[in-house]
A = this chain, B = another copy of it.
Amino acid sequence: MSYLKTIAPIKYEGENSTNPLAFRWYDKDRVVLGKRMEDHLRFAACYWHTFCWNGFDVFGYDGSFERPWHHMADPMEAARAKAEVAFDFFQKLGVPYYCFHDRDVAPEGATPRESVDRLRRMVDVLGEHQQRTGMKVLWGTANLFSHRRFMSGAATNPDPEIFAMAALQVKEAMDATKKLSGENYVMWGGREGYETLINTDMKRELAQLGRFLSMAVEHKHKIGLEGPILIEPKPREPTKHQYDFDVATVFGFLKQYGLEKEVKVNIEANHATLAGHSFEHEIVTALTLGIFGSLDMNRGDMQCGWDTDQFPNNIPETALAMYYILQAGGFTTGGLNFDAKVRRQSIDAEDLFIGHIGGMDVAARALLIAEKMIQDGGHARAVAERYAGWDAQLGKDIHAGKFDLAALAQRTLDRNTDVAPRSGKQEALENWFNRFV
């Protein structure tokens, strides 16, 4: 496709390359802990930021990018042109997966039927591109937040007719994901939250959300979509409070509706920091609670209080995240989707590649660092030793219920001595970690 015609496919050129359009670390066939880099990282590019966004922001409605398909008169022709560029991009970049919303790939129609028809037609187009290129879908999802009808939420809307409009979209998006052999289906909160408590009935809205999710889970089984549904936690933006605030909140919600075995989480770095957590906190929480699914890879700006969706570029931070995932066995159906966008000043076509290359190289380097951490084993040993008492008699007895509170208190009274604390060795572990960066 002409838009990217000056860009050659991106190759791995090794650490010493100074070519900005080459990988220096991502060498997809390199084996790391017994698996190819590509199979570990399962990279996906996203449709929305990369092909739909025109560079607009709150202070610049008209955008800055001026991609050709942003100005085409016929929306379906624009959709096809966009798809062609997208697959050209995916292939040249060398990511195995992509992710999309229904409205990213096919324009909203004048009626529900026309919207469905357009989506189905574009799914055929995408299917052909997939056939031709070998690209795969990491996950699909439905955009339930851009249209004004969803201004007060979709599943959590005060009007059940809008819930019903959302049901149509999700049903179709799930069917499309199935048809395109997507490996997961994502539900991101969109406007499921509130702008102000003062006009909101939280009890009703949460019940609606629970009902909607249950219906989606049931539909997944019905159509045989194999991968999990993933909820993507985010604390705020667009609404002041989003119900899927963070991983722990989503877990409580899933427990309430008995869906904690059916649904997992898609964790985004920038959403984690907006919720007051580190990225690795959210990852480890999800792993601990058994709901870890996939990652939206990006970074925020810690000086800005909104979702900046920048490409990850901090190597040690990314390495820590990767380490915790690898230590827990790595991805299964999930992967590493770049929910990241080039800055609105990065208006050159090549900037789209440069942003992704940077992110992929950082992730590849993080993987190699994590490999060394695991091979060294120093961290795992230190943590195991720190908690060793819980594998000894007293620890086991406590967990086995051999003491009630009074009995354990009596044991302490009988011993009648204080217990000396031991150093937490935080700095020693931080220095150990830096040995591998």
Q: Once the chains bind, are B343 and A427 in contact (CB under 8 Å)? A: yes
Q: Once the chains bind, are B426 and A199 in contact (CB under 8 Å)? A: yes
> For A236, what are the chain B residues with a Cβ–Cβ distance below 8 Å?
276, 303-304
Q: How many residues in A have their beta carbons less than 8 Å from beta carbons of B?
A: 159
Nearest to A54 among chain B residues (CB) is: B61
Q: Once the chains bind, are A405 and B60 in contact (CB under 8 Å)? A: no
Q: Once the chains bind, are B412 and A238 in contact (CB under 8 Å)? A: no
Q: Once the chains bind, are A411 and B164 in contact (CB under 8 Å)? A: yes
Decide yes or no: A161 and B409 within 8 Å by CB, A146-B60, A304-B236, A434-B315 being known contacts: no
Q: Using a CB-CB cutoff of 8 Å, which residues 405-437 of chain A contact chain B?
A: 405-406, 408-409, 411-413, 415-435, 437
Bound-complex Cα distance A42 to B414 (A): 40
- Distance in angstroms from A225 CB to nearest chain B CB is 12
Decide yes or no: A57 and B238 within 8 Å by CB, A164-B394, A428-B351 being known contacts: yes
Q: Once the chains bind, are B343 and A195 in contact (CB under 8 Å)? A: yes
**Cβ 8 A contact of A151, one of B208, B324, B344, B390:** B344
A227 at the interface (CB under 8 A from B): no
A268 at the interface (CB under 8 A from B): no
Q: Using a CB-CB cutoff of 8 Å, which residues 48-73 of chain A contact chain B?
A: 55-64, 66
Q: Once the chains bind, are A248 and B241 in contact (CB under 8 Å)? A: no
A377 at the interface (CB under 8 A from B): no
Decide yes or no: A301 and B240 within 8 Å by CB, A190-B59, A314-B314, A409-B172 being known contacts: yes
Which one of A2-10, A120-128, A329-337, A379-387 is at the B interface? A379-387
Q: Using a CB-CB cutoff of 8 Å, which residues 367-411 of chain A contact chain B?
A: 379, 382-383, 386-387, 389-390, 392, 394-395, 398-399, 403-406, 408-409, 411
A354 at the interface (CB under 8 A from B): yes
A149 at the interface (CB under 8 A from B): yes
Q: Using a CB-CB cutoff of 8 Å, which residues 66-110 of chain A contact chain B?
A: 66
Q: Once the chains bind, are A362 and B434 in contact (CB under 8 Å)? A: yes
> For A420, what are the chain B residues with a Cβ–Cβ distance below 8 Å?
149
> For A152, what are the chain B residues with a Cβ–Cβ distance below 8 Å?
345, 421-422, 424
Q: Once the chains bind, are B112 and A416 in contact (CB under 8 Å)? A: yes
**Cβ 8 A contact of A421, one of B64, B362, B406:** B64
- Distance in angstroms from A137 CB to nearest chain B CB is 20
Task: Give a binary string over A163-176; 1 marks a CB under 8 Å from any B CB, 0 the rest.
Answer: 11101101110100
Q: Once the chains bind, are A146 and B59 in contact (CB under 8 Å)? A: yes
A sample of 17 cross-chain residue pairs with beta-carbon separation below 8 angstroms, ordered by A number, consists of: A62-B148, A113-B416, A148-B347, A149-B419, A163-B408, A164-B408, A167-B403, A196-B426, A199-B424, A215-B403, A216-B405, A252-B255, A252-B289, A276-B276, A345-B423, A347-B423, A354-B428
Q: A199-B429, A201-B387, A251-B256 are in contact. List 9 more A-B contacts (CB 8 A).
A: A111-B418, A112-B418, A149-B420, A204-B387, A208-B398, A222-B404, A237-B304, A346-B423, A351-B423
What are the 8 A-B residue pairs with the smallest beta carbon separation, nearest first? Answer: A305-B305, A252-B252, A345-B424, A171-B409, A255-B255, A219-B405, A167-B408, A168-B412
